[in-house]
Structure 1
Amino acid sequence: MNHADFLRKITGAQANSSGIPGLSRLLMKEINRPVIITDVKGHVLSWHCPPSVALFPEERITLPSTIRDQKEAPSTGIIGLKGRKLKYYCWAIGEVKILGYLLVVGMSEESADDKPQTFYPFAEVASLAMMVEIMHQREMAEREKNYRDEFVRDLIFNNFDGIDEVIRSGKAWGCEFSEVHIVMVIELLNKGKSLETDRLDASLRIEKFLAAEVPGSIVGEMAHFQVVITPLPKEKAEDWHTYIRDLFAKLSPIISEWNCVVGVGKLYESVNMLYRSYQQAKVAIELCKLVQYDCSLAFFDELGAVRLFYNQSEQDLDEFYREVIGPLEKFDRESNGSLLVTLWHYLGSDRDLKRASEKLFIHTNTLRYRLKKIEELLGASLEHEETRFNIYAALKIAAILGKLEQNNNPEIK
């Protein structure tokens, strides 16, 4: 087939909505070589091999650095597939932004491709067609996401005329709102400024994961949060916290390029209470970041008395903080000390001297000295239960107000 005939076939495949697999198959048949299409992270979108080639599909392949750093098309090199080292030719799919890669694979490291340039024009045409197809798919996904976001927004804010309408509308999205549902709010944070991330892609992966794990779930975006509304299986009702923790543990690797903070609202029987659960999940996220500094999953109903502080005025919180542990703040400020952080880790370690010392990178004798100094400044004993309660509450308030640096810096004095 000449170049013009191949171009007509590619155009016909696009007109018939053959998608990436159809385009990949056409190219494979034309050049009689394995053709693999991946996204930018190496997830395989299409995999086609001639009948004579025993190269079995993989879900994801490790892209060599020569592919990610290529300056011109095609890049060439050696790639490992199923333990075999094979020669490849790679074209980046996309112009302004790379959307994926098209790989033509040889039969061995010393490939017998005497004239690989003969299939270059066909691969270039196919890569352009696939760019159009991927962009079209993304536009469709974005459009569907917008509709889904609007439905979730209406659901959260009770923009329906009664429960019957909610149940009827939910069925159109595959949701059964006559059952108990859990509301989770996910905040995705970039791990590094240099990392190129795609929020739409992450949202779609979360949606795909939940559709497989918990059918009837729906994911929408509100502000910069991913809002997840998922049904609670009846057999998990008694220990639903563990169920959500297990679910989150499975989800984390799927969105591993993001730092993820999740807030979970309380469980309510009625769909009319989803809005309340959503608000609680947002509060759980904020308190998780402010107070539980090493936490990535926070349940509103496990935050204890701390959640009562969240809606108090800053002035009232500050007054309570200064009344209880103001002398320690003054000492730290004037002496460049770290009594507040010491107290935080001591109480957070259940008053275990060894654990607290390790977190602070100090000797236990140093910790004992600091605790004695704290008692002297406060005029109270840390052995007194009510004193500890008030101090712990004041420390939580300090974290909320940004007065306490909760870290394990070994240089803290």
Structure 2
Amino acid sequence: MNLADFLRKIANAQANSMGIPGLSRILMHEINMPVIITDDKGRVLSWHCPPSVALYPEERIMLPSTIRNHSDLPGEGIIILKGKKLKYFSWPIGEVKILGYLLLLEKPEQLTETWLPLFGQFVEAVSLAVMVEIMHQREIVDIEKNYRDEFVRDLIFNNFDGIDEVIRLGKIWGCNFSGAHFVMVIKLLNKSNHLESYRQESALSIEKFFIEQVPGTIVGEMANFQVVITPLPKEQANDLHSYTRDLFTKLSPLISDWDCIAGVGKLYESINMLYRSYQQAKVALELCKLVQHEGSPAFFDELGAVRLFYNQSQQDLEEFYKEAIGPLEKFDQENNGNLLMTLWHYLRAERDLKLVSQKLFIHTNTLRYRLKKIEELLGGSLEQEETRFNIYAALKVAAILGKIDQK
């Protein structure tokens, strides 16, 4: 087939919405070689092999360093698939930004010097067509995401005409809003200087996870966090907390490159109460660092008195903090000490001297000395319940104000 005929075949494939698989199949039939098309991370978008080649599809392949290190240039080398070493030829897909790769496996005998230039033109034509398809698919995904985000915003801000309307619209997204739901707010914290594109990839993993794990869930994005609106399965009706914690335990390996904090609102039977669950989830998210979540979400109904500080002005919080434990902060600053953190760990560990000593890597006698010094500076005994309550509340405020590292 000459180049003009091949280009017409490619154009017809696109006109008939055959997509990326259709394009790679045409190329495979023309050159009689295995054709693999991946995205820029190695996820397989299309996989076609001639009948004579026993090579079975994979969902993702490890792109060789010769491709990753020279991603903007055609290349060749060796790739290992299912334990087999195969010769590959690769072409980048995309002009300004790399969107993926087109790989051909096992050099065919007919690739003589006469055929090679035409062969390369065939591949280039398919690469350009695939680039258009990828960009088109991303546009569709972005449009769908915008509609979904808008629907989620309407839900959490009670911006709808009636419950019947919500139930009808919810069915479009695979949701049944006639039962009880609750809201989770999730935020990814960058701990390894990842690029924004990696955050988006992890956010998609979160969305896919919850939709698969809990049918009827819808996930939207608000500012820099994700909003998950999900039903509670009937068999878990009395176990919201452990059920949600189990979900996050399963989610954790999928986003291991990120620190993840999450807040969870209360469960409500009526959909018009979702806005309250959302507001509660946001409060829990903001105060998430105050609880020992260790990858687990913070629940609004478990925050106790801490949530009372959330809406206080910073000036009021500062005054309360200085009145209660200001002398400790002053002592630490003047003497390069760490009495404040010692007190924090002491109270969080329920005054277990051995546990706190291990946490701070100090001897128990050193800890006793510090505690005595703390009592002297504060003018009260840590054995008194009211004193401990005020001090612990002030420490919580200190964490809100970012004065102590609560970890």
The TM-score, its normalising length taken from structure 1, stands at 0.90
1:101 corresponds to 2:85: no
Structure 1 residues 24 and 147, CA gap change in structure 2 (3 angstroms):
same
**Residue equivalent to 2:144:** 144
**Residue equivalent to 2:124:** 124
**Residue equivalent to 1:349:** 349
**Secondary structure, counterpart of 2:62 in structure 1:** coil
**Residue equivalent to 1:267:** 267
**Secondary structure, counterpart of 2:197 in structure 1:** coil
**Residue equivalent to 1:60:** 60
**Secondary structure, counterpart of 1:279 in structure 2:** helix
1:303 corresponds to 2:295: no
CA contact (8 A) 2:248 2:296 kept: no
Shift of 1:263: 1.4
**Residue equivalent to 1:367:** 367
Percent of pairs with identical residues: 74
Cα distance between partner residues in 2 of 1:404 and 1:184? 26
Greater shift, 140-149 or 286-295, is seen at 286-295
The TM-score, its normalising length taken from structure 2, stands at 0.92
Greater shift, 271-280 or 240-249, is seen at 240-249
Structure 1 residues 222 and 114, CA gap change in structure 2 (3 angstroms):
same
**Secondary structure, counterpart of 2:403 in structure 1:** coil
User: 1:385-404 CA distances to partner (integer Å, 9 max, x unpaired)?
Assistant: 33222221111100111222
**Residue equivalent to 1:69:** 69
User: 1:351-394 CA distances to partner (integer Å, 9 max, x unpaired)?
Assistant: 23333223323333322221121122122222333322222111
CA contact (8 A) 1:291 1:400 kept: no
CA contact (8 A) 1:187 1:262 kept: yes
User: 1:20-58 CA distances to partner (integer Å, 9 max, x unpaired)?
Assistant: 111121122122121112222222221111111111111
Shift of 1:268: 1.4
1:186 corresponds to 2:190: no
Cα distance between partner residues in 1 of 2:363 and 2:81? 52
1:252 corresponds to 2:252: yes
**Residue equivalent to 1:228:** 228
1:82 corresponds to 2:46: no
User: 1:111-134 CA distances to partner (integer Å, 9 max, x unpaired)?
Assistant: 978659463322222111111100
Structure 1 residues 115 and 284, CA gap change in structure 2 (3 angstroms):
farther
* One-letter code aligned to 2:369: Y
**Residue equivalent to 1:330:** 330
Structure 1 residues 78 and 113, CA gap change in structure 2 (3 angstroms):
farther
Cα distance between partner residues in 1 of 2:256 and 2:135? 24
Greater shift, 146-155 or 203-212, is seen at 203-212
User: 1:169-213 CA distances to partner (integer Å, 9 max, x unpaired)?
Assistant: 212222111111121112233344353525554444433333322
Cα distance between partner residues in 2 of 1:168 and 1:300? 30
Q: What value does the CA root-mean-square deviation take over the aligned residues?
A: 2.3
CA contact (8 A) 2:290 2:406 kept: no
Cα distance between partner residues in 2 of 1:365 and 1:158? 58
Gaps of 5+ in 1: 408-413
**Residue equivalent to 2:211:** 211
Cα distance between partner residues in 2 of 1:343 and 1:113? 77
Structure 1 residues 401 and 337, CA gap change in structure 2 (3 angstroms):
same
